[in-house]
Chain A
Amino acid sequence: MIITIPLYVMLFIYLAFLVVFVSFSILNFYHVVVTGSFTLSSFMMSFFIFSLTVLTLYFTYQLLAEVNWQQTLLEFSTDFFKATPQY
């Protein structure tokens, strides 16, 4: 039996990271707003980070738009475990 791991598995890992990233970013922003520190400098910094994030996600999408996500990333054969040693 052959077990194949397709490339889109990496996309799921990436999406999981994005969830963590968004959660922590919201938490940081929440801290800034709740503590009454939402001034011009904190707004500028939050806007700067938000812009960089949007740009990074846009470029990631642009660079990976043509990728065939169905192709095989790794292939495991269970025969490896069945193989008898050759002397």
Chain B
Amino acid sequence: MPYLGHLIKQKPYEKIEYCLHRHPITFLPKILVFLIMMAVPFGVYFLFSNIFPTLFETEIYYTLAVLLASIYYLGIYLYIYGEFVDFFLDMWVVTNDRVVDIEQIGLFSRSVTEFDLYNIQDLTVDITGFFHTFLNFGDLDVKTASGNSHIVFRNIPNPNEVRQTMIQLAESDRRYHLQQSR
């Protein structure tokens, strides 16, 4: 069972059914950008050493170039790590009692939304696009009976399977609450 830290106080009877993140393929564009950015200093070095062949023989320019390259590389490590944290900390937790949406927005902002399973009225799966269809990932829109609040599970793997399970969980939670109210 995943440890959910201090974000969710897990109730004693609560069982975590899903702890969902976005499909890993959605992180691929960031990795491609990272790889291109990693290659840029080599291109710049090649360009400068061809235009100014003696530039890096001067100790000052050489030192400045190394320090600048080092700062650039550390900067892009920070960029990719930040993007990973943003990607990985967006998660959706489905328990046998409730749905929790945790969204990390940058480094200093996080929003947490939750509602009880028995309030779920509508579950809509949206799989659009070649990669989404081929790799079976997409959005799952969870709406409550009031219609005021909804949570979107973005780019989760197997959204149809999650939807089916959530329908069953919502039904059993609704029955449980009906019995409690009698």
Contact = CB atoms under 8 A, between A and B. Distances in A.
B7 interface: yes
Interface in A36-87: 36-37, 39, 41-42, 45-46, 49, 52-53, 56-57, 59-60, 63-64, 67-68, 71, 73
Interface residues of A, number: 36
A18 B71 CA distance: 8
Given A17-B74, A49-B80, A53-B77, A32 B85 contact: yes
Contact of B78 (A24, A36, A42): A24
Contact of A31 (B4, B63, B89, B91): B89
A37 B4 CA distance: 7
Contact of A21 (B67, B78, B84, B85): B78
Of B3, B75, B85, which is in contact with the most chain A CB atoms at under 10 Å from its CB?
B85
A17 B80 CA distance: 17
Nearest to A38: B3
Interface residues of B, number: 32
Contact of B88 (A10, A21, A42, A60): A42
B131 interface: no
Contacts of B62: 67
A31 B90 CA distance: 12
A7 B80 contact: no
A25 interface: yes
Interface string B2-40: 111111000000000000000010000000000000000
B34 to A, nearest CB: 10
Given A24-B107, A36-B4, A49 B63 contact: no
Contact of B74 (A11, A46, A53): A53
A34 interface: yes
B71 A14 contact: yes
A37 B67 contact: no
Contacts of A52: 73, 77
Closest 3 CB pairs of A and B: A36-B5, A60-B70, A36-B3
